[in-house]
Structure 1
Amino acid sequence: MSTRHTHARRIVANIAADKRALIAGNPIAGIESLGYTVVAEAALTSKRGAGGWCDGLSFAEHNTVIYAPTPGSNRQNFTLLHEVGHILVEDDDSALVWLADRDNPEREVERLCDEIASALVVPEEMLDDIVGIGPLTAMDLKTLVTVSSASGPACAIALATRLSSGAVAIIDRATEIVAHSALCGDELQVYPWRGTNVPAGHPLLRLAAGAATTTRSYWLDRWDRRQDYYVSAVATEKRIYAVFSINDLWGVDRFHGGQAPPTKSNALRREIRCRCGFRGPVTGWPCPECGHLYCPECGDCDCQRRARMQELCGSCFCLTPAVDLVGGICSGCR
């Protein structure tokens, strides 16, 4: 079934790898390398609605992106790439068909462009380096915000793709308001959302600067509806970085509700391309003989793949690469 995430990843994957790398390092130069014109306009006179995050506009027919510069902030990078997302979506029939079936296409296209922008400014390779195979933690969010050229919203959106169901949030400690938030999953009824206050007396507000916690917690909305979460959080002087998960990613329940330091597996994570047609990231332990990971589709490692490419020579009866056989006889016997 098509989802917003699968469309975003597919659209981004259609951009050449070298151009994606350029976009991640220098968004304006990268966008211009795609043949688009980038125009800075300090005071935009019109804005797109439907909850879009961006201070920008795009004109697909002219391949032009206009944005309001935000000096000293990475927000303009996200703005630019969100607008590029609109141009890319306009040219993608599959995404347009999917959007047409949504209950609220205008809102969904904004969220799709948010995810495209996030995937461009925070490449999967960067997420792999920081998160590894998980579990995702609040420290990963803090690290990503620090080392990437992405804005807070872009980092939250990127990391939310690594959750099965939950939210990734950045909270302003001075105002006790959720500054940025990204959601994932259909089980969320009550959740931290951008611009909402942290519930009064919430344990996160007591987290000291420099401290971290992994525990069972909750969120309340303005009508006092409650949803329970497992939470990983880390605090700085100005912010609280938090990951809210419906599932116990960090083994909190094994510690009877106490705080459990998240542990990450040492299993390898690599991109593989198998002859069965599978191509993508794989996590696991490699074959002790060939050192390659097993394909999740056909179950083969490189040993089995090589073996299937060999046949018996009709003269010496040794296994020989099939391409070396002529009339069933290997080159050593001919």
Structure 2
Amino acid sequence: MNIDDCVRLSVEAVPADVRAGFPSNPLATLTSQLDLVVRPAADLSQSREDGGFCDGMSFLDDGVVLYRPTGNRRENFTLAHELGHWVVARLDPVLDWLADNDSDGRVLETICDRFARELLLPAQIAAELVGPGPVRAHHILDLYDTTQASHPVCMIAVAERLRGMGAIALIDRFTGEVTDASVRPDPDRGWPETIPWRGQRLPEGHHLLGLPEGTTRTERIRWRGRWSEEDFYVDVVVARTKIVCVFADTDLWTPGTGAPLIDRSFDTRLQLRGYCCGTDFQVRGYPCPTCRNPNCPKCGLCKCERAAASDQPCNECGLLYSPALLADGICVDCR
């Protein structure tokens, strides 16, 4: 079981008539064929801590989807992505696999991104456009011009054609911020610790920000992630407001240079089990040095933090005690 299997199972779980009707009218399909309640929310934040593309939010138990209305192709992607969350929440095999492989939501968001891409832009279209050669930055713009898919959907479709680990990023030419990113993890080693992700920025004065519109180039650059810096090869094309970059682990564009650049760091955090918020969970991370238990992915607390959060003050001295040590609100020392 891997991400590809999760995406395939999720798409197959959608009735064929829903898949057929979704690209032409996503909103009507969700409301009339799936009986979901879909509401615009103009003030919905565009920021997602997990780095996903989507400008929406789902309340799965209630069958409610909120989305930021944009009136363009991105709105369709948001609705397809939220449908992905709704479908995944009903697939036990995918949920079981996520419990073992997703600690911070990035894998789930990637599955829902690729689910949305499959509904809006079948993989075969991107395969035909890219052809047998390596992925180039201009392929994203070409796919956008020849289809009705949004830039994020085109990025996801093209990123799936990458050979090995890599990413596609859209960078704002004026702020240097990564506005969208689609990452292809290494099939064996998983997620790299350093990779372009939404919300990261190029350093002020970076040479890519000074390239004129229409520039294309391939080069080796150093990318600064959240915790470290690593080298990548990039293929770049500069559009009017965006810089489209294809990041690759190896030089895909110069014949005879296919060796890995460096021995990269990948996410090797421990697989931990716990129980909190009414359910068993598994996460990747490090245990609390005090209680040696993991933090719950829902409330964010470890065992000792949960115990401290339940402590109550003594009505006499004001010190905090476990509720079991209080009688009528008075601690043992003040009775």
TM surpasses 0.5 = yes
RMSD: 3.0
Taking the TM superposition and a 5 Å limit, the aligned residue runs for 1:15-34 are 15=14, 19-32=18-31, 34=33
Is 1:190 the counterpart of 2:189? The answer is no
TM-score normalised per structure 2: 0.64
Helix, strand or coil for the counterpart of 1:20?
Answer: helix
Stretches of structure 1 lacking an aligned partner (at least 5 in a row)? 255-334
Is 1:241 the counterpart of 2:244? The answer is yes
TM-score normalised per structure 1: 0.65
CA deviations on 1:138-174 (whole Å, 9 max, x unpaired) are: 0111122333333333332332222220110011101
**Cα gap change, 1:188 to 1:90, in 2 (>3 Å):** closer
Is 1:69 the counterpart of 2:73? The answer is no
Q: CA deviation at 1:28?
A: 2.4
Distance 2:47 2:177 in 1: 25
Distance 2:166 2:27 in 1: 32
**Cα gap change, 1:243 to 1:47, in 2 (>3 Å):** closer
Residue aligning to 2:136: 137
Taking the TM superposition and a 5 Å limit, the aligned residue runs for 1:161-180 are 161-163=160-162, 164-180=164-180
Distance 1:45 1:204 in 2: 31
Distance 1:96 1:205 in 2: 41
Between 193-202 and 134-143, report the one with greater CA deviation.
193-202
CA deviations on 1:87-144 (whole Å, 9 max, x unpaired) are: 1112212101112223516453333222212222222122123222331110111122
The answer as to whether partners of 1:70 and 1:76 remain within 8 angstroms in 2 is yes
Q: CA deviation at 1:21?
A: 4.1
Distance 2:46 2:30 in 1: 21
Stretches of structure 2 lacking an aligned partner (at least 5 in a row)? 258-335
**Cα gap change, 1:45 to 1:178, in 2 (>3 Å):** closer
Q: CA deviation at 1:5?
A: 2.8
Distance 2:16 2:125 in 1: 14
The answer as to whether partners of 1:24 and 1:149 remain within 8 angstroms in 2 is no
The answer as to whether partners of 2:136 and 2:246 remain within 8 angstroms in 1 is yes
Residue aligning to 2:213: 209
Paired positions, count: 251
The answer as to whether partners of 1:176 and 1:198 remain within 8 angstroms in 2 is yes
- The amino acid that maps onto 1:112 is I
The answer as to whether partners of 1:231 and 1:245 remain within 8 angstroms in 2 is yes
- The amino acid that maps onto 1:151 is S
Residue aligning to 1:98: 97
The answer as to whether partners of 1:50 and 1:107 remain within 8 angstroms in 2 is no
